[in-house]
């Protein structure tokens, strides 16, 4: 789970999470509604009532975003794409898919399902707002606000900027026409990037025109979209290149090993100072026994380094960073990110097969990506 995220509960087996950033934005929206929008539009109501209206508005907004994301998720499920979690972020929500759509039609329909839900909600809230207009002004006002918000949500998400919904529809369409997912992702994310710059440019104009806070928001959202587009492209490239490729193909087979019987002093002089790796496999009687690196030595005094053997100071195999030879490259990369370690032994049935580093994976990614060209 990303930091500062809280699980609220489960709907249709999907975990619903909220990010602390969203909670802060929600507070900000409630405050601006209670002290700005509602008192200006509907004068003469008690101050406390404005706050209740604002709270109802923010809850309605959260439910609207949730329904938008659920709509993506449940339609995805029809196409066999499982969504495990929905996280409410700063600018809406994100459904975490375990896999990407495998056909363009699924991509297009799944992406369109969210904005479609927002449009339906906008119409429903507008209808409810008009129906309650004669009965209760505050209720009608909140419902009207939610109608407008859902309309904005639908339109904003339909902008053809990958990885936003409209960008996904665009990618699906290009994919359908060209039959080339890589090309489609490239074009759709470039559109996302360009759109991010346009928003930022408009923000700058707003600032020059004197609307500082509004302009800053546009720049922020623009840059957020630009980064998301870039990240989504890299992520999809990574998946394309790494999926189905095992460590067996990518690992280094010639690995420098260390004998468990030598002293730490010898290890430092003969291995650490000559090859400068962060982690070495330790062999005892021809069998893999554990790992040793700077971390195991750093705290030891000169005297201890002269007396202690590598076998005594090493991290035993069970606690060492290891991966299976049949492990997927994508899985290995996630493992490296999660554990914040960049060097893993590749092991099969307790025997050392090779070594894989983050640099190996990234180099491989770069070479293949450049070879594919565009
Ligand atoms: Zn969406």
Tell me the per-residue pLDDT of 85-122, one tens digit each, with 9 for 90 and over. 777 765 555 656 556 677 889 889 999 999 999 999 99
Tell me the average pLDDT across 347-359: 89
> How would residue 374 be classed by pLDDT, with cut points 50, 70 and 90?
very low
The residue ranges of DSSP E strands in the chain, in sequence order, are 5-11, 14-19, 83-89, 92-97, 258-259, 279-284, 287-293, 315-316, 322-324, 343-348, 351-357
User: Of 58, 64, 46, 35, whose CA–CA distance to 142 is shortest?
Assistant: 58
pLDDT for the residue 95: 58
Cα(368) to ligand 1 centroid in Å equals 31
Q: Which residues are annotated as a binding site for Zn(2+)?
A: 68, 72, 165
Tell me the average pLDDT across 293-301: 87
- Percent pLDDT > 70 in the chain is 95
DSSP codes, 276-305: --SEEEEEETTEEEEEEEHHHHTT--HHHH
User: Of 113, 73, 77, 93, whose CA–CA distance to 26 is shortest?
Assistant: 93
Cα(319) to ligand 1 centroid in Å equals 42
Which of the residues 69, 107, 237, 296 is marked catalytic?
A: 69
Rounded distance, CA 343 to CA 335, Å? 11
Cα(74) to ligand 1 centroid in Å equals 12
Cα(72) to ligand 1 centroid in Å equals 7
What distances in angstroms separate CA 45 from CA 49, 52, 53, 56, 241, one per listed residue?
7, 11, 11, 16, 60
User: What letter would DSSP give residue 319?
Assistant: G
Cα(5) to ligand 1 centroid in Å equals 20
Is 237:369 a contact under the CB 8 Å cutoff?
A: yes
- Percent pLDDT > 90 in the chain is 27
Q: Which domains does the chain have, with CATH numbers?
A: 5-242 (no CATH), 247-372 (3.10.580.10)
Tell me the average pLDDT across 175-184: 88
- Return the minimum-mean-pLDDT range out of 34-48, 79-93, 241-255, 339-353: 79-93
- Tokens 């070495």 locate to 280
Known catalytic residue at 265: no
Rounded distance, CA 342 to CA 326, Å? 18
The radius of gyration computed from the CA coordinates of the chain, to the nearest angstrom, equals: 27
Is 124:254 a contact under the CB 8 Å cutoff?
A: no
Q: Which residues are annotated as a binding site?
A: 68, 72, 165
Structure tokens at 237: 């490239």
Q: What is the mean pLDDT of the chain?
A: 86
Is 133:201 a contact under the CB 8 Å cutoff?
A: no
**pLDDT above 90 (res 338):** no
Cα(99) to ligand 1 centroid in Å equals 16
pLDDT for the residue 117: 95
Summarize the chain as % helix, strand, coil (round to 5). Answer: 65, 15, 20
Rounded distance, CA 327 to CA 231, Å? 24
**pLDDT above 70 (res 54):** yes
């Amino acid at each position: 789970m990303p930091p500062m995220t809280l699980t609220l509960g489960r709907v249709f087996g999907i975990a619903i999470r909220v990010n602390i950033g969203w909670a802060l934005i929600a507070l900000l929206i409630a405050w601006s509604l209670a002290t700005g929008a509602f008192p200006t539009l509907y004068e003469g109501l008690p101050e406390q009532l404005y706050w209740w209206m604002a709270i109802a508005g923010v809850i309605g907004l959260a439910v609207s975003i949730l329904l938008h994301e659920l709509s993506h998720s449940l339609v995805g499920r029809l196409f066999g794409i499982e969504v495990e979690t929905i996280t409410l972020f700063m600018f809406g929500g994100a459904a975490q898919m375990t896999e990407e759509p495998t056909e363009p039609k699924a991509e297009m329909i799944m992406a369109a399902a969210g904005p479609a839900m927002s449009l339906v909600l906008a119409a429903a809230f507008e209808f409810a707002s008009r129906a309650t207009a004669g009965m209760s002004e505050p209720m009608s006002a909140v419902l009207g606000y939610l109608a407008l918000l859902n309309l904005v949500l639908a339109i904003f998400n339909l902008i053809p900027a990958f990885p936003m919904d409209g960008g996904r529809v665009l990618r699906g369409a290009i994919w359908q026409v060209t039959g080339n997912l890589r090309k489609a992702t490239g074009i759709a994310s470039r559109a996302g990037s360009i759109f991010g710059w346009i928003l930022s440019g408009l923000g700058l104009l707003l600032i020059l025109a004197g609307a500082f806070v509004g302009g800053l928001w546009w720049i922020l959202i623009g840059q957020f979209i630009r980064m998301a587009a870039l990240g989504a492209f890299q992520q999809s490239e990574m998946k394309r290149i790494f999926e189905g490729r095992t460590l067996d193909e990518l690992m280094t087979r010639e690995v420098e090993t260390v004998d468990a019987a030598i002293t730490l002093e010898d290890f430092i002089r003969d291995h650490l100072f000559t090859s400068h790796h962060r982690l070495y496999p330790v062999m005892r009687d021809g069998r893999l026994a554990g790992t040793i690196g700077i971390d195991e030595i750093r705290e030891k005094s000169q005297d201890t380094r002269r007396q202690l053997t590598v076998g005594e100071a090493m991290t035993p195999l069970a606690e060492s960073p290891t991966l299976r030879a049949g492990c997927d490259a994508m899985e290995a990369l996630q493992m490296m990110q999660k554990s914040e370690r960049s060097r893993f032994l590749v092991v099969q049935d307790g025997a050392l097969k090779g070594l894989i580093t983050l640099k190996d994976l990234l180099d491989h990614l770069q070479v293949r990506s450049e070879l594919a060209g565009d």
